[in-house]
């Protein structure tokens, strides 16, 4: 965690080294299609955001629905170190709802907004420039009766005439707003433009250290993070952002990217946040779980590939010095470790290192043989796992690695009903077993049938199916992680039949568990024993 010990300037001052993080995951993030959260989910996420150290949390839009009102009220009562914020239009009913929802807050902020751009004034609001100023001021004054502080947002500020925006902000300060937000509502601006605008606002608005400027950037052109950082360079001292960058359309600036950019490049920016960066990955995972929306593999900071390397040249560099290809450590953001993934792009250096970890030390000639068989295997599989490597080192055929093999699989499902699966398995020692199970869908039924038949039910901690290639005949790749007796295994399966791919992946995980604990007799063997 970084704290500001050196800066004595007020928070809104450009001399202040502290940048406030205003999280809007539960409001702007939640309002985007696919990201709705119920009250329980919002509460859980709010606890995580507070432990992450966000300064202000926009908890919702109380006038939107009774459940949103209740969520804001419940979260506000629970926050201790974070200012609870609620959004409201410049309308009495919205502001009163926000005020009532924030009643139990330790520290409360109402965020009132009103469009200022010509397009919005004319077509959305049907109001003149002076009517917009009057409405904004009466909204701010009303909001101040209900809370500790008021933020005012000039919606679509980046497409507003700068002189008029300055007039609006001067009026907003006079009415009592202490945070002035200039949102790039439609993700239209560029870093140079937004920096220049914030410099002008800082210079020409009569804030006299009483107000702080805020940036709220959307990602329609993929520049939300760059624009937020540019706004800070221009004088903003609050950034509005969301976990995983969720939000309207292409999303908002991603909190984890903004925070890590300020941290990794701190000599450049000279600015700090209160965020405990080791909680960034857990926060990202929790949000993904609560919304059911997965994070892209290549997402900066928190994606599965952010600290994973498959290509041989990068792996070789990483093994010599991790700084060659990583600008921060995975532990900085709460990820356990860097992964050197062995696949078709890997080279000898990473293969040799992994074999050594697995207790194998082939001489140069054996290494060449293993390497060429490894490449052939990697061409067929997307990821080569540890026991594939051991099989290669021992001269075995990794594709035949058991002890269990799938002999038969059939599934049946009806629309709206439970699915059924029957499976047949054979063991290297000659045993044949079969099983059947019901489940929520054919994949679930097939996995249950396999686990029940073998009598070993590791806990599924991660499961993904991806198509490789396009078209309805594309190969399906199933990747899963399981835990069993405190240890973790990853496995995958590939087939044009996605149910078979999933079944192969689970069987591969169970086989790994059995091979790593050979003295553990499975329940199927016990049943077969006389």
What is the separation of C-alpha 223 from the centre of its chain, rounded to a whole number of angstroms? 18
Q: Which is nearer to ligand ACO, 125 or 460 (CB)?
A: 125
Which contiguous run of DSSP H or E holds residue 410?
Answer: strand 404-413
| Nearest-approach distance from CB 523 to ligand ACO, in angstroms | 53
Choice from 113, 146, 152, 198 touching ligand ACO (CB under 6 A):
113
**Binding track over 217-256 against ligand ACO, x by CB under 6 A:** -------------------------------x--------
Q: Which stretch binds ligand KIV (CB under 6 A): 167-175, 179-187, 367-375, 465-473?
A: 179-187
Choice from 9, 14, 43, 64 touching ligand ACO (CB under 6 A):
64
* Cα four-point dihedral sign 439, 416, 30, 223: positive
Residues in the interface with Mg ion (CB under 5 A) total: 1
Q: Which is nearer to ligand KIV, 50 or 94 (CB)?
A: 94
Beta strands per DSSP E along 146-280: 149-155, 179-184, 212-217, 238-241
Choice from 60, 183, 245, 442 touching ligand KIV (CB under 6 A):
183
Q: Which is nearer to ligand ACO, 91 or 331 (CB)?
A: 91
Residue 216 touches ligand KIV, criterion: CB under 6 A: yes
Measured from the Cβ of residue 196, the count of other Cβ atoms closer than 10 Å reads: 15
Residue 90 touches ligand ACO, criterion: CB under 6 A: yes
Q: What are phi and psi of 86, to 5 degrees?
A: -135, 145
Binding site, annotated residues for Mn(2+): 28, 216, 218, 252
Query: Per DSSP, what are the bridge partners of residue 256?
Result: none
Residue 98 touches ligand ACO, criterion: CB under 6 A: no
Residues in the interface with ligand ACO (CB under 6 A) total: 15
Residue 28 touches Mg ion, criterion: CB under 5 A: yes
Residues in the interface with ligand KIV (CB under 6 A) total: 9
Residue 134 touches ligand ACO, criterion: CB under 6 A: no
Choice from 19, 20, 28, 234 touching ligand KIV (CB under 6 A):
28
Beta strands per DSSP E along 199-266: 212-217, 238-241
3-state secondary structure 111-134: EEEEECCHHHHHHHHCCCHHHHHH
Query: What is the C-alpha to C-alpha distance for residues 456 and 453, in angstroms, rounded to an integer?
Result: 8
Cβ 265 vs Cβ 229: under 8 Å: no
Half-sphere exposure (Cβ direction) of 402: Cα atoms closer than 13 Å: 13
Residue 101 touches ligand ACO, criterion: CB under 6 A: no
Cβ 256 vs Cβ 287: under 8 Å: no
Choice from 125, 319, 366, 460 touching ligand ACO (CB under 6 A):
125
Q: Measured at CB, which residue is nearest to ligand ACO?
A: 89
Cβ 194 vs Cβ 184: under 8 Å: yes
- Give the 3-state secondary structure of residue 331: helix
The item of ligand KIV, Mg ion, ligand ACO, none sharing an interface with residue 153, based on CB under 5 to 8 Å by kind, is ligand KIV
> What tokens does 250 get?
């292409």
Binding site for ligand KIV (CB under 6 A): 28, 113, 153, 155, 181, 183, 185, 216, 218
């Amino acid at each position: 965690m970084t704290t500001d010990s050196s800066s004595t300037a007020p928070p809104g001052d450009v001399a202040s080294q502290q940048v406030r993080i205003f999280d809007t995951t539960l409001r702007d993030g939640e309002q985007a299609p696919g990201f709705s959260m119920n009250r329980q989910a919002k509460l859980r996420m709010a606890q995580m955001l507070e432990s992450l150290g966000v300064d202000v949390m926009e908890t919702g839009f109380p006038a939107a629905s009774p459940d949103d009102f209740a969520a804001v009220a419940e979260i506000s009562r629970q926050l201790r170190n974070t200012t609870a914020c609620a959004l409201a239009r410049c309308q009495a009913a919205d502001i009163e709802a926000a005020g009532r929802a924030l009643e139990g807050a330790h520290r409360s902020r109402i965020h009132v907004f009103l469009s200022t751009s010509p397009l919005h004034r004319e077509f959305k609001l049907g109001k003149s420039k002076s009517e917009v100023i009057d409405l904004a001021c009466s909204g701010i004054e009303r909001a101040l009766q209900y809370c500790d502080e008021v933020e005012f947002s000039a919606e679509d500020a980046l497409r507003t005439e700068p002189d008029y925006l300055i007039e609006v902000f001067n009026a907003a300060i006079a009415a009592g707003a202490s945070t002035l937000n200039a949102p790039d509502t439609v993700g239209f601006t560029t870093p140079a433009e937004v920096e220049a605008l914030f410099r002008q606002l800082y210079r020409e608005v009569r804030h006299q250290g009483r107000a702080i400027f805020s940036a709220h950037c959307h990602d329609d052109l993929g520049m939300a993070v760059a624009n937020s950082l540019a706004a800070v360079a221009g004088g903003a001292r609050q950034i509005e952002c969301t976990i995983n960058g969720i939000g309207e359309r292409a999303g908002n600036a991603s909190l984890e990217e903004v925070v890590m950019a300020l941290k990794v490049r701190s000599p450049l920016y000279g600015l700090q946040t209160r965020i405990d960066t080791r909680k960034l990955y857990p926060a990202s995972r929790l949000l993904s779980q609560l919304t059911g929306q997965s994070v892209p593999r290549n997402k900066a900071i928190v994606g599965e590939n952010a600290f994973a390397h498959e290509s041989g040249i990068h792996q070789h560099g990483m093994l010599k010095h991790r700084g060659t290809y990583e600008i921060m450590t995975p532990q900085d953001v709460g990820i356990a470790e860097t992964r050197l993934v062995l696949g078709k792009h890997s080279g000898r250096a990473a293969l040799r290192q992994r074999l050594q970890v697995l207790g194998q030390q082939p001489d140069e000639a054996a290494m060449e043989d293993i390497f060429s068989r490894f490449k052939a295997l990697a061409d067929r599989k997307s990821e080569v796992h540890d026991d594939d490597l051991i099989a290669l080192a021992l001269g075995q055929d990794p594709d035949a690695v058991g002890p269990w093999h799938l002999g038969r699989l059939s599934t049946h499902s009806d629309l709206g009903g439970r699915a059924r699966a029957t499976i047949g398995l054979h063991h290297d020692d000659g045993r044949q077993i079969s099983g059947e199970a019901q489940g929520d869908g054919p994949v679930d039924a097939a996995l249950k049938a396999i686990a029940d038949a073998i009598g070993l039910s590791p806990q599924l901690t991660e499961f993904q199916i991806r198509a490789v290639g396009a078209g309805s005949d594309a190969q399906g790749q199933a990747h899963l992680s399981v835990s069993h007796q405190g240890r973790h295994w990853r496995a995958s399966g590939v087939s044009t039949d996605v149910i078979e791919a999933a079944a192969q992946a689970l069987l591969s995980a169970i086989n790994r568990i059995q091979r790593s604990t050979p003295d553990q007799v499975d329940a199927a063997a016990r049943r077969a024993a006389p």
